[in-house]
Structure 1
Amino acid sequence: MKVFRWALLWLILIGACQQGYSQYIDIKTAEPSLKKKYQKAVTYYQAGQNDKAIAEFKKLLDKNPFFIDAALMLGSVYYDLRNFDQAETYFQKVLMLNPKYNQKVYYTLALTNYQNRHFQQAANNLKVFIDLKFGNPELLNRAKLLYPTYHFADSASRTPVEIEPAQVTGINSELNEFLPSLTADGRTMVFTRLSADHQEDLFISYRGENDLWSTPVPIDELNTAMNEGAPAISGDGNTLVFVSCHRPGGLGGCDLYVSYRRNNQWTAAVNLGERINTPAFESQPCIADNGNILFFCSDRIGGIGGRDIWMSVRGKKNEWTKPVNLGSPVNTAGNEECPFLHQDGRTLYFSSNGHIGMGGMDLFLSRNEKNKIWSQPVNLGYPINTPLDESSFVAFYDGKKALMASDRLFQNEKDPQKIKKINLDIFELTIPEIVKPVPSCYIRFNVVDAKDNHPLPATIELFRIEDKKLIVSEILGASGQKTFSLPGGGIFAINISHPGYQLLSEQFDCTANSRFNPSYKIWAMKPIGKEEVRVVLKNIFFSSGSAELQPESFFELDHVIKILKTDSNCKIHILGHTDNIGSEETNELLSGRRAESVAAYLISGGIEKSRITSEGRGEKEPVADNSTEEGRRQNRRTEFLIKH
């Protein structure tokens, strides 16, 4: 502030009176009594007594409205106070009195226009200043660096996105709140709060049925006398990765740590180790792909700018691989921070001051295309981004809304001339259509024994039918419970297996389940006994009127082959069923041929022919009403009778 104050004084002192503007008065031509009053006001300004300085400069202008130096100084005082409305008024008055009085006025006015979001005027005034080729090379270069931002702000403000972020009620305080993270259901938020004594701590809040957030409470198990913040919580709320600085045993100033929720308590935090952490700065993690991908920012050696975004993948032995830099076009010579990969698996949001934007840290989007290359980042637009700092963008699963952090300005209602203290606060907004992620969802598993309901550490496999991609293949923990993100919508095949238990086969339509209406059920697995067992395979597909297996069926049948190979004592009888469309004779023949196709696939996978028989039942054994499409869909099925 002192530097700016003296720079402005220098601006006044070097101002040169220009011929042809005889109606204005400057400090050189003013009468001695006027100079004395002017110097008194300047002395107040130099002493930091801004209220007195404003009063004196206003008295001068009331009696001498053409006193150009008084107008310039009054604008300068208001600029110091961040009262940009008043500053703009008096800087414009200077140019009105004499546009050639001092070239630097165009630069200062451009800064003021920009703060008032008068972006067109800001760009125009900065362009005038550049074209005048001001004699200070350093200031001229600074103006040239600013111009792309001002030009972008002008363009973006002409085509604003139809959205205005709103503060999240119940979360924000007079302190700074930022870096939020959400569970899959959007009902739990963890975030960072910075206290008045510059202590960062982790806080948690829960969203009630009335959609209001509870009073945030500190996570005492994880907070220490050091700084903890930048949390990333898993979809099920049971894993938390966060940053802590200067902890004993750490590898650098700020490292990433992990904690797990057990019996409603957070376990002791564990450093993620030297693969992830270095003597440099690591922070702002994002857990993606059901905990298998970790994004974070770091200024470690090997980057291409200040802070870059890095990525690590969980290996086969559950260890994190060596992080790789996302590179260009995401990372720049500036700073890229706060990465968030949406559950669609391809939409990355982040903040940056290295890409051209509205100024400060802006929010951007890049998509991971099918060729695995990140697209050129796109600015989220105005007024999501402003001349201030925006960061911490976290989208809900359905892709409709998001949270973000910003230090936006708010007028003091009691005194409009004074600006409320700037805080980082958390905002909620509707995501503009052009920068929305693909709507995604999640599914919760609770797998138990059908007889006594004890939990089973079953194997879960989730296969997206549309692109034949295996999304999840994981063994549940001892609790038998887990929440999985399902990227990008679509219909998923589900296989649940466990040694000694019957295979469970289901389908899940992600598009029909939003974040507030997820699939959650208890999956009861029946132990395999000596009695005959009937299993319906819900992910066997044929072309219409054909016995040819569609490729989407191979995932489920390959799973059956694995089970048959591990249980060599069982034999299976394959039953094909149809709906009632067509003649009974045709349906029986078709169902028989389809059962034979399934048998042939199993045999081709290495299962002995002697263990497999097949039969077509046609439309004889419906399990649902054939008068509806849903009923007919259920009746078109493949069943296995398993015998030991």
Structure 2
Amino acid sequence: MNALQSLPINNLTMKLHKVKNTALLVLAGCALATQAYSQADNSLALADKYFAAGDYFTAAGLYGQYLHPVKKQTSSDFPLNIKKRGGSGKGNYVNDLAIQFKQAESYRLANYWNEAAVLYKECFDKDPVTYPNALYWYAVCQRSLGNYAAAQESLDQFISGNPGTAYMQEAGKEKDRLTFISQQRSRPDSVLFHVQKLSINTGNETSVYAPMIAGNDQYLVTSTVKDSVALPGVNPYHNRLFQSTLVNGSLQNLSPVTIEGNDNSLNQGTASLSPDRNTIYFTQWKKENGGSVSSIYYATKKDNGWSQPVLMPSVNQEGSNSKQPFCTADGKYLFFASDRKGGSGQFDIWYAPLQADGQAEEPVNAGTVINTAGNEQAPFYHAASNTLVYASDNRPGMGGYDLFAARGKETNWQAPENMGHPINSSRDDIYYYASEKGSIYNDALIGSDRGSECCLSTYTVSKTAKRQLIAGIVRDCKDNAPLAGAEVVMKETSGKTYNSTTGADGSYVFELSGDINQRQFLLSKEKYAGKTAEMEVDGGKTGWLIDTIYNAPLCLEKKLVIKVENVVTVYFDFDKSLLRDRATQQLDSIYNVLVENPKATIQVSGYTDGLGSVEYNKILSDKRAKACADYLIAKGIDASRISFESFGACCPVEMEMINGRDNPDGRSMNRRALINIDKPAEE
């Protein structure tokens, strides 16, 4: 086994999860100690080997050691402590600046943005002709560090000074990325989100990521730990599965997940449980031939842990990688990421129907609406909102991996939307979990390396709901004019009521709570008849902080306001003595006058048209007068205050025959009752 093979550092962990623990690399390099001493002259060649293997952090240290050798050998066995430059010279490098540029590349690929930025800037400042691209990468580093103004300035300088170069297309994408970041950071609704790093009570900065519910407040998480037994030539640091309790924003009591026949040379992580909690799906991966090889396994629940892992044959394809399984809440599908044949690009989102025994059927690609020519990873399906959340590095975003959400199911998806700032950052944002009990932002957890030089960390996400308003307008039923000063009472099914008064434009507004369809409105205004109406949605408007639902326009009818000196005429249908709706409104107004004037009295006179006999019309007119009197008496007016008299067809107010022809309109005006209100003079 050569020196390179003795350091199986996982590229997936290094690049995606960014577990760049210095102690990991120091201990891993110990196996190379003797060979490193004997080949001190070949330090650059060794650095190049680490770089080619994807161990960029170690490569960066070796390049730095060559450029700045220590004066005195330390007691450490790590090859970074090579004492001096050897006789092999610079190899394929023309000068020290070329080596420094390679060191900058190493730090960038290891996601050490501060170190990379300094080195890139020095390369460009010292030789802008040879290293113009260093300015581009310097801008990328500044964007990753959140220094957006410096990134924009450097990017503009690079674009203006290097037209037509190979990096122009990438520079254009970076410019779009900075524009997108600016737009996202200025979004008014960002104030609704609260993102906070989850504390871990392990006593160190160990990376903990990819949390998934395991029951109540229990979560499965992935973390990087040192194996209790170190094997010769095997990296002692691996990713392992743990179970933890989430209490008040802190993951506590991390305990290893026991899996039979666990191979310590493999990494385990990103697990998901079946709905009955009896099957666990997870990824196992290893370093092989300078790359990462990952596959999805499942195990079944036992009394003391989980059974020996079983490879899922249909999910894993020979010569390809599959990882990051997620079992849906109904147990019907297993979503996962894979670079298997038949995809759109590199890693795609796939799903496979699950059988009752936990085995998966033939996988199906989620389609080109979801997948791109780049990488799509870490799927999570929120059944409560029919939303797929996943990470992508090939869509417009803020940098690195961004989280996207797409509504739909299986291969029928709406266009994915960037979940925006502050869920996404200018660094890698990957892995998402949210409770099925509420919205997609309810009890949400994300993985991100924002604010960290080391590791992917877990953050809590909460979102205050936007304000929801119900707005409407009240008008006059007759002329459609807006009614100012109308009292509007909104009543919920619970019985709770809210009051509002219309403005000059007749508008009213209420804060919405609960089901929008469970609303009733009570309207009133002086000189208008009261009204009750049900909620009827008539459109709406969506805003950053407020969503407004419009209720259908409401109207009130003006009612007759009777004063003491008025004579009120009440009309009847042909041959009827029943009170019309309009008549009851008039009598209600008379009632109000009598209540306000306790000494006032009324006289009701009944009339008919000229049709019918004198005797019949006398009886009908009596019924009409009596109907008015009875209505007021029933409302509480003392009968002694009311007198009535019947006149039959006497005293028409309109002609019933015109030029020998019948005049129906005239007859209708004669079918009436006259109500005189009398208020005695003040004593």
**TM-score when normalising by structure 1:** 0.47
TM-score when scaled to structure 2? Answer: 0.45
